[in-house]
Amino acid sequence: MTDQRDPHAIAALLAADRRHAWHPYASALNPPPVYPVASARGVRLQLADGRELLDGMSSWWAAIHGYNHPVLNRAVSAQLGRMSHMMFGGLTNEPAVELCALLAAITPGELERVFLCDSGSVAVEVAIKMALQYWQARGQPGRNRLLTLAGGYHGDTFMAMSVCDPVTGMHHLFRDVLPRQLFAPRPGCGFGQPARAADIAAFEALLAQHRDAIAAVILEPIVQGAGGMHFYSADYLRRVRALCDAHGVLLIADEIATGFGRTGKLFACEHAGIAPDILCLGKALTGGYLSLAATLTSGHVAGIVCSGEAGALMHGPTFMGNPLACAVALASTRLLLSQPWQREIARLEAALRAGLAPAALLPGVREVRVLGAIGVIEMEQEVAMGPITERFLAEGVWIRPFGRLVYTMPPFIMRNDEVARLTHGMIAALEKYLSHPAGEEAR
C-alpha cells in the first residue's frame, strides 16, 4: 500500500479528488481545498500529511463515541462474519428486529412502529409520506400541506427541502418547484424561558386558518440545527403539541440532529415532556459508522395508513434494514445507554460554557450559546470558509462553520482538557481571522 504521508501520493490523491469527487455544497468548477484523512481514533483525526486535529464536529454530529471504538468495531466485525446485507422485503434479520424493538422502547410516547431507511433526509420524506397517507386513508386527501417553523432545516431531498427555511435556507434555487408549505415565525422565546401568548400567536393563527389543509406540523424540537443553531423554549414546544391535539393535526419531530443525548436529554422532546406522532432519527444512530435512519410512529397512525387504498406505506429503500448498519446501531445505542451519559453531557456543557465564554468579547460576535454538547459562536457577518478553516487547522482543531455560525458538537468522549484545547483553538483561530479575514498575515 502506498504511504499516504508521501507528498507525491498526497498530491496524486488530491488531484484525483479535484478531478472526480464532487463534495457537498461545493463547486465542481473551482473546488475548495479538502484535507485527506489517513486515520481517526478517539477524538482525533490524523491527516495524511501527519497533522493531528481535535475533531469538534463528530463528523457532522454522528460520531458520538469518537472513532475506532472497540465496541463498535467488534459489532461490525461480528456481523460481517454472518452477512453484510440482505433485502428487507419478505425477509428479516435479527439486528434489524432488535434495533426496532430497542428504539420503540426508548423513544417518547408509544412510537411502536419503526421504519428503517437510509439517511436523515429520507427519514423526513418517509415521515411526510406517513402523514399524507394517513389523511388519504381517512378520506381527507386535501390535508396535504405542512406547517413548520422559519429557520428550520430538514434535509436535501425534495419534500424535506420544502420545509427548510425558504429565505435563509440552502435551497432557494428550488423554490419554484417545491410544494408550498406554511411557515410560522421562528420562536422568539429562548431555551429556559416561558412562551408568552405573543410568541406562539402566529403559529396558532396559521394552524387555525389552514387546519383543513394541514397534514402535519414538522419541527426540530428545542434546537434548530443547520438552519441556525437556534435554541428555543420547551414551553413553546409544549404549546405546539397542545395546539396540534386541539386541531387534530399530526406532529412530526425531526430529531435527526438532537437524538441520542446531544441536548442533555435522550431525545429533545423530553425537555418539554411531550411525544410526537411521528419521530425521525439519524446521524448518531450508528455512532457515525454507517448511514442509517429511522422513522417511528404509533400503532394508531400505522394502522390508519395501512387501512387506506395502498394497504401499506409506499416506501421501500433497497438497503432498508441493512444488518451491518443495524448491528452497529444496536451496539452504539446500547453503549450510550450503558454509560452515565447524562453526567457526561452535563460535563461537556460546563466545559463548553467555560471555554467559549471569552468569545463573547471578540468584535463581530453577536452571541455565544451552549446547550448540552452544542457550543455556538454566532457572528454578525458570515465567515469565509477557506480562510477560517486554514486558521482552525493551524490551531490543530477541525471545525466546519457555516454562514455566521462557528460551532462545535464534539464527541461525547472528549475530555475536559481536550474541550479546553478545542475551544481555545476556536477562539484563537477566530481572533486571527477577524484581524485578517482574507488570510494574509500582517507584515
25 annotated active-site: yes
**Backbone phi and psi for residue 293, each to the nearest 5 degrees, phi listed first:** -145, 170
Count of residues making up the chain: 443
CA 280, 286, 289, 291 torsion-angle sign: negative
CB-CB contact of 330 with 98 (8 Å)? yes
- Cα separation, 293 vs 284, whole angstroms: 9
Residue 129: which H helix or E strand, with range?
helix 120-137
User: Which grid coordinates belong to 134?
Assistant: 394517513
CA-to-CA distance for 405 and 379, rounded, in angstroms?
Answer: 6
Do 370 and 358 meet the contact criterion of CB atoms below 8 Å apart?
A: no
**Contact predicate 422/396, CB 8 Å:** no
The answer to whether the CB of 206 falls within 8 A of the CB of 184 is: yes
Catalytic residue among 134, 165, 283, 433: 283
For this structure, is 153 an active site residue?
yes
Neighbours of 208 (CB within 10 A): 11
Cα distances (Å, whole numbers) of residue 234 to 38, 104, 183, 331:
42, 23, 19, 30
Catalytic residue, from 55, 118, 165, 254: name it.
254
Element (H, E) at 130: helix 120-137
What residues have CB less than 8 Å from 349, skipping those under 6 apart? 264, 370, 371, 372, 373
C-alpha cell at 224: 434548530
β-pairing, 405-408 vs 374-379, is antiparallel
Would you state the cell numbers that stand for residue 6, as one nine-digit string?
508521501
Q: How far apart are the first and last CA of the chain?
A: 43
CA distances to 112, 141, 144, 161, 276 from 304, in Å = 14, 13, 16, 26, 16
| Residue 311, number of CB atoms within 10 A of its CB | 10
Candidates 375, 378, 368, 367; CA nearest to 351 is: 375
**Residue of 270, 240, 65, 58 lying closest to 152 (CA atoms):** 240
Whether 35 is catalytic is no
Query: Is 212 tagged catalytic?
Result: no
Please return the burial class of 197, using the count of CB atoms within 10 Å of its CB with bins 0-12, 13-18 and 19+: exposed
User: Which among 153, 232, 236, 289 is annotated as catalytic?
Assistant: 153
Angle at the Cα of 422 from the Cα atoms of 420 and 425, rounded to 5 degrees = 105
Catalytic positions, written as ranges: 25, 153, 254, 283
